[in-house]
Amino acid sequence: MPDPASNPPSPATAKSMDEIMALCKRRGFVFQASEIYGGINGFWDYGPLGAQLKKNLRDAWWQDVVMNPCWGRTGPSGERVRTVPLDSTIIQHPRVWQASGHIAGFNDPMVDCRETKQRYRYDHVQVFTRQGTTSEAPMFAFVLGTETENRQRKKAEKKFDMKMEVVALSDIAPADWPKVLAPHAEAIGTLTEPKQFNLMFKTYVGATAGEDDVAYLRPETAQGIFVQFKNVVDTTRVKIPFGIAQTGKAFRNEVTPRNFTFRSREFEQMEVEFFCHESEALDWFSFWRKWRMEWWESIGLAGENLRLYDTPQKDLAHYAKAGSDVEYRFPFTAPGFGELEGIAYRGDFDLRQHAEHSGLKDNLKYFDMTRGEPLPNGQPKGEKYFPHVIEPSAGLDRGVLAILCEAYTKDASRPSPEIMRFHPRVAPIKAAVFPLVNKDGMPEVADRLHAELQGRFGRSGFIETDAKQSIGKRYARMDEAGCPYCFTVDGDTLTGQTVTVRDRDTGKQDRIALDKVGGFLAGKLGA
RNA sequence: GCGGGCGUAGCUCAGUGGUAGAGCGUCAGCCUUCCAAGCUGAACGUCGAGGGUUCGAAUCCCUUCGCCCGCUCCA
């Protein structure tokens, strides 16, 4: 009888991240990047099964977002969702990142306190000093708007007899830093030099490039979409509302890469920028918010470990009007959640920024012929505007990690205690075909069935076959690799033209006709 | 960037100054008519890396890299 006062562990919290990571290594899902050289902080490679799993997830997104957008649903305006794909470059013109705000916003110098181990944003720290600072007077540093302000003010008032002023830490001469009392410190002079944090990866364009040729690896794929918005509109007959979708690598020099692949410095995004008229934007935001949640559920994350979380207004970026996150309760975040995808209503911020910085100005606006006052001939006059944007931005690697965590199951009652319960759509191995024993004509039948299934389903994932060792071992291996169905050729196959199909999740077996195997698998894989 | 923990075979780990080990996995052969079964055999190690102390270092010291946890950060 469990203690009712204690919270029962959720399935995710009960899972051990160490065990999941060990399985990922052992079965070739995830390897440390450059491992034989000692690894490199914040980078991970996908092994054979992981690479296929990741591709399956990316393909599922592409199919459901680009090729059959939102499963054919109609949006708030009553017409089917339309999106078009794009593949823009990792390296863009440096001014793209000026326009987007990343060059300004991605560089926050920090100072550390040697005594208290606290870290502060350099530009947030101010100091109380005596008016007309004398060389001996101490300085009381504080962080604006925190309790340190009052505490340090009291000290300063006592010391300076009310004759004091407030100066930014950045305006204090380096020679005076030894006199600064850090916000939480007891001793003076404990603050380190400001340290620059460059969250964008810098590179140089051109074989003989110098400092004039600095460029950046994109920290998000989104800006490539905004930059090509006009070309897409001019060349593809798209009409608002519509989306532009793109998957691709992005790079961020995270301060602290942590938690397996969750916060990596090189990662892959799956993003849509959905353009619409301001009057419909909130409806589209609701539409995407709801559908993206359903999509993650559809690929195997349904359950209490997935949630849709609305960003509080105070936490939104300055340009954002609304935001929701699809979040997963990872073993390392439990009982909290970690973000898989952010759905943001960004207003018209990005297109306006690029209109301004590129000099295109109003030429970057969209001309909507369905809006505006009716003309004498009955047609609308049209309206020129910057479309508003809904941005569902998903992390592919985080999706893979969530799927790995969700799929990992430990069942001590089974001969093979570790099972990866992948949804068949994303499972890297779709099916396996075994001869029960490696003789009596069974291998030949198994080979034929394997060839048939590979020809029909090999485009969506691996179809395995294996005749070595005991059947139990082969089933166990497939459980660890997450293969949903195993077909076994046995003595009855030779006489009755049937095989057994074993279900990974239950271990149960059914007998089906040899010539129905393809149809059975097609039904299960949704192919 | 700070603090703590850890790093030995593919995985899990033992080995605290004296010949690098175990279990599992992997591979080969035999056997095998449904769940990591059995028998026989085999391969696999920069003991994370570099330096130092020592007659001798996986073991002690220094430096460094990586992973995990906590702080911090996350436009």
Q: What is the rounded CA–CA span in Å between residue A107 and residue A197?
A: 5
Residue A117, Cβ neighbours under 10 Å: how many?
9
Tokens of A183: 């916000």
User: Cβ contacts of residue A322 below 8 Å, gap of 6+?
Assistant: A282, A285, A310, A311, A316, A344, A345
Q: Please name the helix (run of DSSP H) or strand (run of DSSP E) that holds residue A290, with its range, or none.
A: helix A278-296
Question: Are the C-beta atoms of residues A266 and A251 closer than 8 Å to each other?
Answer: yes
Q: Nearest nt to A40, CA vs C1'?
A: B66
Sign of CA dihedral A114, A115, A119, A125: negative
Residues 245-274 of chain A with CB under 7 A from strand B are 252, 254-260, 263
Q: What is the rounded CA–CA span in Å between residue A87 and residue A95?
A: 19
> How many Å apart are A320 CA and B35 C1'?
55
Q: Nearest nt to A219, CA vs C1'?
A: B75
The per-residue pLDDT for A167 is 80
Residues 479-518 of chain A with CB under 7 A from strand B are 479-480, 488, 490-492, 499-500, 502, 507-509
Q: What is the rounded CA–CA span in Å between residue A436 and residue A470?
A: 8
**Three-class SS state of A500:** strand
Q: Residue type at A379? A: Q
Residues 392-451 of chain A with CB under 7 A from strand B are 414-418, 436-440
Classify each residue of A503-519 as buried b or exposed e, where b means 16 or more C-beta atoms within 10 Å of its C-beta: ebeeeeeeeeebeebbe
What Å distances lie between residue A412 and A232, A480, A486, A504, CA to CA?
55, 13, 21, 15
Domains in chain A, start-ordered, CATH in brackets? 12-91+218-406 (3.30.930.10), 107-197 (no CATH), 427-525 (3.40.50.800)
> Does residue A25 lie within 7 Å of nucleic acid chain B, judged by its CB?
yes
> Does residue A523 lie within 7 Å of nucleic acid chain B, judged by its CB?
no
What crossing angle do the helices spanning A442-457 and A517-525 adopt, rounded to 10°? Answer: 40
Q: DSSP letter at A373? A: P
In this complex, the residue with its CA at the shortest distance from the C1' of nucleotide B12 is A22
> How many Å apart are A112 CA and B61 C1'?
30
Residues 296-325 of chain A with CB under 7 A from strand B are 317-318
Residue A167, Cβ neighbours under 10 Å: how many?
15
> Does residue A330 lie within 7 Å of nucleic acid chain B, judged by its CB?
no
Residue A67, Cβ neighbours under 10 Å: how many?
11
Q: What is the rounded CA–CA span in Å between residue A490 and residue A358?
A: 69
> Does residue A34 lie within 7 Å of nucleic acid chain B, judged by its CB?
no
Residues 88-117 of chain A with CB under 7 A from strand B are 100-102, 105-106, 108, 110, 112, 117
One digit per residue, the tens of pLDDT, for chain A of length 527 reads 232 223 333 444 468 888 999 999 999 999 999 888 888 889 999 999 999 999 999 999 999 999 999 999 999 989 999 999 999 999 999 999 999 988 876 566 677 776 666 677 777 788 888 776 555 677 888 877 677 777 778 877 777 776 777 888 777 776 777 778 888 777 777 777 776 666 888 899 988 878 888 999 999 999 999 999 999 999 999 999 999 999 999 999 887 888 899 999 999 999 999 999 999 999 999 999 999 999 999 999 988 999 999 988 877 877 889 999 999 999 998 888 999 999 999 999 999 999 999 999 999 999 999 998 888 888 899 999 999 999 999 999 999 999 999 999 998 888 888 999 999 999 999 999 999 999 889 999 999 999 999 999 999 999 999 998 899 999 999 999 999 999 999 999 989 999 999 999 999 999 999 999 999 999 999 76
Question: Are the C-beta atoms of residues A499 and A514 closer than 8 Å to each other?
Answer: yes
> How many Å apart are A393 CA and B37 C1'?
50
Q: Kindly report the three-state secondary structure assignment for every residue of A426-495.
A: CCCEEEEEEECCCCCCHHHHHHHHHHHHHHHHCCCCEEEECCCCCHHHHHHHHHHHCCCEEEEECHHHHH
Q: What is the rounded CA–CA span in Å between residue A102 and residue A89?
A: 17
Question: Are the C-beta atoms of residues A385 and A281 closer than 8 Å to each other?
Answer: no
The per-residue pLDDT for A199 is 82
> How many Å apart are A440 CA and B66 C1'?
51
> How many Å apart are A175 CA and B56 C1'?
53
pTM: 0.87
C-alpha closest to that of A14 among A327, A434, A411:
A411
Residues 201-230 of chain A with CB under 7 A from strand B are 219-220
Question: Are the C-beta atoms of residues A380 and A367 closer than 8 Å to each other?
Answer: no
The per-residue pLDDT for A102 is 86
Q: Which residue(s) pair with A161 in the sheet?
A: none
> Does residue A473 lie within 7 Å of nucleic acid chain B, judged by its CB?
yes
Classify each residue of A396-431 as buried b or exposed e, where b means 16 or more C-beta atoms within 10 Å of its C-beta: bbbbbbbbbbbbbbeeeeeebebbbbbbbbbbbbbb
The per-residue pLDDT for A343 is 96
What Å distances lie between residue A242 and A117, A367, A479, CA to CA?
49, 14, 42
**Taking the CA of residue A16 as centre, how many other CA atoms within 13 Å lie in the half-sphere pointing to its CB?**
6
Q: What is the rounded CA–CA span in Å between residue A334 and residue A353?
A: 38
Tokens of A149: 């302000």
Q: What is the rounded CA–CA span in Å between residue A11 and residue A69?
A: 32
Q: Nearest nt to A260, CA vs C1'?
A: B67
User: Cβ contacts of residue A23 below 8 Å, gap of 6+?
Assistant: A29, A408, A418, A420, A480
C-alpha closest to that of A470 among A439, A440, A500, A438:
A438
**Taking the CA of residue A332 as centre, how many other CA atoms within 13 Å lie in the half-sphere pointing to its CB?**
17
Residues 341-360 of chain A with CB under 7 A from strand B are none
The per-residue pLDDT for A1 is 27
Q: Is A442 left (phi over 0), alpha (psi -120 to 50) or beta?
A: alpha
Question: Are the C-beta atoms of residues A178 and A188 closer than 8 Å to each other?
Answer: yes
Place of tokens 């993650």: A296
Q: Nearest nt to A477, CA vs C1'?
A: B36
Burial of A97 (0-12, 13-18, 19+ CB in 10 A): buried
C-alpha closest to that of A336 among A1, A3, A12:
A12
Q: Nearest nt to A143, CA vs C1'?
A: B72
Residues 155-174 of chain A with CB under 7 A from strand B are none
User: Cβ contacts of residue A313 below 8 Å, gap of 6+?
Assistant: none
Strand B: which bases are under 7 Å from protein Cβ? 1-3, 7, 10-13, 25-38, 46, 48-49, 65-75
The per-residue pLDDT for A153 is 80
Contacts 24+ apart (CB under 8 A), A510-517: A514/A445, A514/A449, A517/A449, A517/A452, A517/A453, A517/A487
